Amino acid sequence: MIKSHKMTNPISQNRVVISGVGSRVPEKILTNDELAGMVDTSDEWIKTRTGISERRIAGSHETTSDMAAGAALAALENGKTDASEIDLLIVATISPDTAMPATACYVQEKAGLKNAMCFDMAAACSGFVYALDIAYQYILTGAAKKVMVVGADKMSALINWQDRTTCVLFGDGAGAVILEQGKGKSLGIMASSMKSDGSQASILHIEAGGAAMPLTPENITEGKQYITMEGSVVFKSAVRSMSEIAEEALAKAGLSSSEIAWLVPHQANKRILTAVAEKLGISMERVVINLEKYGNTTAGSIPLALDQAVNDGRIKDGDYILFVAFGAGATWGATVLQWGRE
């Protein structure tokens, strides 16, 4: 299924901008050397094949909604926004606190977003860009005024810690942004393209725990509640899809890759990001990368990287920014925007 659109704004003078950004990661650090004491791997293998040195791991009582609410509160503070002003909350996650209700409802309560309509977005590593696209549409139509979009995942709960092919890749974390109509000082969101291909569902999935295969003692013993992945297939599909969708979104925005100040990609694997940047003709100095410290935080990864690059001064008003992601589904998408809070 393909959905893409040129962002022609029906409310012509109004633009949709990111007016606040925040993040939250757990305190506990798990290093490659510690992992090497748990499975047959090494710091050198993980660094060379993925670029990851360490990741954050949530405590047993620290949930996806706790991290999401922490990121949302940080975004409210950063955007000088009162919690009561948020009228829509979308939480992108593939590791919900519970199967029912939506994790967004827990986040609403924890962050005090009492006037928000709330729902979850399940698009795995693409969840943040998908949710951003929906938020954009709500604001353009006037259905919402201020939207909180959170990407949050506690991947440590979904990983088989005895499977070295997956456990070295992921970490826990959350990032959040507030979207609202801009005052015209920046272009804000300029274009986006989102795609899905359900024929790739089996290359990265969790077999048991849904209604198709409820958990039983037998399938838990077999480890079917955990992520399984065909790593090299995912790798190739990610490189091809991320570069193609980024080109498509750039064309819609009327920009060339040389005009992009910062590529803020989903933090999957440094080799994936290097290949995508090369295909796009974007030098690595213009790619925001934090995966060496956080690993792949799934829906949390783009807003977490964005928060760091905004708050350390790398991203400046007027910069053209490109988000691009690929994840389970398969789902993928790209967003082009001009940075600026007004």
Choose, from 125, 167, 269, 290, the residue flagged as catalytic.
Answer: 125
175 or 182: CB nearest ligand ACO? 175
Q: How far is the CB of 153 from ligand ACO (least distance, A)?
A: 11
Q: How far is the CB of 321 from ligand ACO (least distance, A)?
A: 20
266 catalytic? Reply is: yes
- Whether 125 is catalytic: yes
For residues 71 and 22, is the Cβ–Cβ distance under 8 A?
yes
Compare residues 22 and 51 and give the one whose CB is closer to ligand ACO.
51
Q: Which two tokens stand for residue 140?
A: 């353009």
Please say which residue, 148 or 203, places its beta carbon nearer to ligand ACO: 203
Active-site residue identified among 78, 167, 266, 290: 266
Tokens of 282: 């974007």
- CA–CA distance, 68 with 304 (Å, rounded to integer): 11
Task: Note whether 298 and 327 are within 8 A (CB).
Answer: yes
Report the distance separating Cα 340 and Cα 342, nearest Å: 6
Q: CB atoms < 10 A from the CB of 240, how many?
A: 15
CA dihedral 55, 59, 63, 67 (to 10 degrees): -50
How far apart are the C-alpha atoms of 288 and 265, rounded to whole Å?
7
Q: Is 296 labeled as catalytic in the residue annotation?
A: yes
107, 72 Cβ separation under 8 angstroms: yes
Nearest distance from C-beta of residue 54 to ligand ACO, angstroms: 14
- As measured in angstroms, the least distance from the Cβ of 284 to ligand ACO is 17
Q: What is the smallest separation between the CB atom of 46 and ligand ACO, expressed in angstroms?
A: 6
Rounded distance, CA 215 to CA 280, Å? 43
Closer CB to ligand ACO, 30 or 268, in the complex: 268
Exposed/middle/buried for 67, CB within 10 Å: 0-12, 13-18, 19+? Answer: buried
Q: Which amino acid is at 83?
A: A
**Minimum CB distance to ligand ACO smaller for 69 or for 169:** 169
Residue with tokens 């750039």: 250
Residues of this chain that interact with ligand ACO (CB under 6 A) are 41, 45-46, 49-50, 125, 164-165, 168-169, 204, 229, 231-232, 234-235, 238, 266, 268-269, 296, 326-327
Supply the residues annotated as catalytic. 125, 266, 296
